């Protein structure tokens, strides 16, 4: 069943003098529980696509539907609330809040929503990610791999429908990269989540159920599960 669908998604960055077409008529469909990697050269529009899918940016035209809700029609506030409930992000540079400890960073999206943390889920996630001993530490006291594990835990804790990962291993050494990837894959599988990951590493891309190729803002391959 399709959980995410874009139709004729276009994004043009126009600063008045220069217009750059970052995404051009993108039609993409992703099913529930799928692990999809998006590959493409630098500047091909991968990150823009991911930002659009996560509701971080608004399209110039076209639509994005997540669980049948059209993100392009939501106002800022509803979009933010939708994001914290249904979408988990993992960024290349972790993006942890420096003043919060590990525990607080993980539960932040749930707390911002005024909801209660699912204790069982939390314990399960931190056990899987081996973060039990790090909970009181501050981000600056952690290694890169540890920080990314915290970011993954944060992305999973609100039980999102989709986890979007933007080159999550870009800043990590190869061993740590492998650990992080396998963790991402395992956790999303275990929690029945859809995982969309950007990478420019073909080897990593191979791990997915499907690879989406993007070039100059257009999907050239893998736009739907049937392909």
Question: Which residues contact other proteins by CB under 8 A?
Answer: 51, 54, 56-57, 76-77, 80-81, 83-85, 89, 91, 95, 97-101, 103-104, 107-109, 111-113, 135-141, 154, 158
Tokens found for residue 217: 């803002």
Cβ proximity to other proteins: between 55 and 222 the closer is 55
Tokens found for residue 191: 């929690």
What is the rounded CA–CA span in Å between residue 37 and residue 51?
14
- Least distance (Å) between residue 77 CB and other proteins: 5
Q: Cβ-count burial of 105 within 10 angstroms (0-12 exposed, 13-18 middle, 19+ buried)?
A: buried
Beta bridge partners of 88: 163
Cβ proximity to other proteins: between 13 and 220 the closer is 13
Cβ proximity to other proteins: between 149 and 210 the closer is 149
- Least distance (Å) between residue 38 CB and other proteins: 17
- The 8-class DSSP code of residue 9 comes to E
What is the rounded CA–CA span in Å between residue 169 and residue 208?
15
- Least distance (Å) between residue 52 CB and other proteins: 10
- Least distance (Å) between residue 95 CB and other proteins: 4
- Least distance (Å) between residue 101 CB and other proteins: 5
Beta bridge partners of 140: none
Q: Which of 97, 96, 91 is nearest to 169 (CA)?
A: 91
Cβ proximity to other proteins: between 11 and 210 the closer is 11
What is the rounded CA–CA span in Å between residue 75 and residue 123?
34
Cβ proximity to other proteins: between 80 and 178 the closer is 80
């Amino acid at each position: 069943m399709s959980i995410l669908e874009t139709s004729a998604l276009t994004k043009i960055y126009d600063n008045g003098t220069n217009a750059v077409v970052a995404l051009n008529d993108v039609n993409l469909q992703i099913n529930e529980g799928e692990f999809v990697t998006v590959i493409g050269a630098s500047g091909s529009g991968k990150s823009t696509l991911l930002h659009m899918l996560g509701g971080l940016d608004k399209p110039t035209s076209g639509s994005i539907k997540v669980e049948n809700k059209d993100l392009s029609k939501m106002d800022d506030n509803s979009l933010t609330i939708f994001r914290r409930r249904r979408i988990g992000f993992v960024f290349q540079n972790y993006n942890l809040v420096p003043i919060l400890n590990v525990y607080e960073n993980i539960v932040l999206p749930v707390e911002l929503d005024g909801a209660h943390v699912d204790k069982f889920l939390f314990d399960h996630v931190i056990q899987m990610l081996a973060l039990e001993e790090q909970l009181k530490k501050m981000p600056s006291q952690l290694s890169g791999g540890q920080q990314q594990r915290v970011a993954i835990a944060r992305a999973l804790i609100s039980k999102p429908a989709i986890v979007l990962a933007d080159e999550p291993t870009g800043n990590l050494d190869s061993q740590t990269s492998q650990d992080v990837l396998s963790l991402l894959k395992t956790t999303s599988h275990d929690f029945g989540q859809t995982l969309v990951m950007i990478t420019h590493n073909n080897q990593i891309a191979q791990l997915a159920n499907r690879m989406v190729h993007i070039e100059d803002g257009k999907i050239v391959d893998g736009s739907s599960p049937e392909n």
